[in-house]
Amino acid sequence: MIGRVVLLAAILVLAAPGEPAAEESGTVVVGSKNFSENRLLGEMFAQLIEARTDLRAVRRLGLAGTRICFQALQTGAIDVYPEYSGTGLVTLLGEKPSGDARETLNRVRSEFLARWNLWWLSPLGFENAYEIAVPRALAEREHLRTIGDLVPLAPSLTAGFGYEFIEREDGLPGLRALYGLSFRDVKAMQQALKYRAAGAGDIQCLDVYTTDGRLLVNDLQVLEDDRGFFPPYEAAALVRGDALREHPEIGPVLGLLAGALDEAAMRRLNLRIEEKGEAVETVAGDALAQLGLVGAAAPSEPRPRTRNPLARLASNPKELGRRTLEHLGLSATALLLGILVAVPLGLVLERRRKAAESVIRMVGVSQTIPSIALLAFMIPLFGVGVLPAAVALWIYSIFPILRNTYSGLRDAGPEAVGAARALGMTDAQILRSVRLPLAAPVIMAGIRTSAVITVGTATLAAFIGAGGLGVPIVSGLQMNDTGMILSGAVPAAALALVVDGLLALVERRLTPPGLNLHG
């Protein structure tokens, strides 16, 4: 029984396409955080490297936030990503904000070199600073011009802030300490969703970026930071020193972007992605072409912003197929590893019943770790991409299979087992011919449960650059594009049903005829 299930999982793994190794000679791995501007800058870095060198850029765009990007850079999982000087100073170095742009840049440059051999290249020419905004009607009614003006009104307002902003010292905690800012309620929200919530009146205050294109089309009033709380946030490429040593051409090529962009230009570029639905690749290519750094790209039509997932799926079947195979391969790898560990362990524990429940409970603790947290824990060990995602999903897959394997074997037909012993069968014969066949439906139920959970959880692997059907889901969340979200969610749900159906056929074949409830 075990061999047949393993063979099925192995076939699913082999069906998935491979992925180039980050360490492959002649490649540079470009990362980015999971918001549209950072993705755009990462794509610009990648296209510029490919256009001006003989290197190939491997993209790991949309990683889940500052810490994950930084860990990936430290461990060599990525070679370069766009970062902001104020974020480097406050979030990564843990130092107090400085209002001087040159002082901030010099500080992060010297400390990052000394501590980690990481290089801040020349700034790109713009800052993307945090700001606090409120609906213009509220600002006019309450005469709000500065953050200080907001303080007495804040206890009656609901705020919507980004996940990082709520935790960072250069975010809400620092504002509370300096201004005494305290709201009636604070909701953690994705960047795109905050604008929708503000427009609907669900929140009355939000954090925004100075280069956010949606500031051009939403009726918001940005409040002046009258106490100079927010540090400078100059955008720049942050590069591993080892990558610069191995590929010294990276520095001069990315240096072509030094001072090339300003806040107004970035707002226009971001707006094309966030509101007009244009592809990041297209906008990045256009920006580089306008700067004269690459050849002009062929014009492309904006993606239709539709809520119909079927229309989205039909618009790019090749991309859907690639993402589905990535998702299938990742899920099947994790499930195969889970079977290889959980079923033999269940066999062992069934013979050591006194310790069994304690061991199973310990394994079950893995289910209490939030998925995105477990994925983040894997980065220092395995970098970003398929490997850490597969390991994390494997850990999640073990418990349902182990619990059902142990329970199925423990409770498998005691009368039949007794009769087999009376006939003189050995323990090995009883296990192979009686207990495993009787336990097969319960074991397969655990495998099916684990498979469905694994396929669903694998959508989060996009946050650490593992690809799959989570990519359009994450992108859609960032862009507030329901159609894009559903174009990943619907195939993921369908894939879970297909996998469960295939495993149901295996279960039917393995179940003894007398126990087969399917008829």
Question: Along the 519 residues of the chain, how does pLDDT read in single tens digits?
Answer: 444 444 444 444 434 444 444 445 689 999 999 888 999 999 999 999 999 999 999 999 988 888 889 988 998 989 999 999 999 999 899 988 777 899 999 999 999 999 999 999 999 999 998 899 999 999 999 999 999 999 999 999 999 998 889 988 889 999 999 999 999 999 998 777 888 888 889 999 999 988 988 887 888 999 999 998 988 999 999 999 999 999 999 999 999 999 999 999 999 999 898 878 788 999 999 999 999 998 865 555 555 555 555 566 666 788 888 889 999 999 999 999 999 999 999 989 988 888 888 999 999 988 888 887 888 788 778 877 788 889 999 999 999 999 999 998 888 767 776 777 777 787 778 777 777 888 888 999 999 999 999 999 999 888 888 888 888 887 777 666 777 788 888 899 999 999 999 999 988 888 777 665 444
CB 287 within 8 A of CB 48: no
How many degrees, rounded to 5, is the angle at CA 189 between CA 78 and CA 316?
60
CATH, range 315-515: 1.10.3720.10
Residue 149: half-sphere exposure toward Cβ, Cα within 13 Å = 19
Q: Would you state the pLDDT for residue 313?
A: 61
Task: Give the number of other Cβ atoms within 10 Å of residue 88's Cβ.
Answer: 27
Check the CA dihedral 171-175-178-182 and report its sign. Answer: negative
> What is the rounded distance in angstroms from the CA atom of residue 407 to the CA atom of residue 439?
8
Question: Residue 317: exposed, middle, or buried by beta-carbon count in 10 A (0-12, 13-18, 19+)?
Answer: exposed
The CATH superfamily of 22-127+233-302 is Periplasmic binding protein-like II (3.40.190.10)
Strand partners, 84: 235
Measure the CA dihedral 420/424/426/429, to 10°: -50
Determine the pLDDT at residue 19: 42
CB 151 within 8 A of CB 181: yes
CA angle in degrees (0–180, nearest 5) for 211-43-299: 90
Strand partners, 223: 132
Q: Measured between alpha carbons, how far is 221 from 211 in angstroms, rounded to an integer?
A: 14
Report H helices in 53-122: 66-74, 85-87, 101-116
- Reading across the β-sheet that carries 118-120, which strands appear in turn? 56-63, 27-33, 80-84, 235-240, 118-120
Q: What's the whole-model pTM score? A: 0.74
Quote the CATH superfamily of domain 130-223. Answer: Osmoprotection protein (prox); domain 2 (3.40.190.120)
- Assess whether the region 130-223 and the region 315-515 belong to the same CATH fold: no
Question: What are the boundaries of each domain within the chain?
Answer: 22-127+233-302, 130-223, 315-515
**Residue 311 confidence (pLDDT):** 63
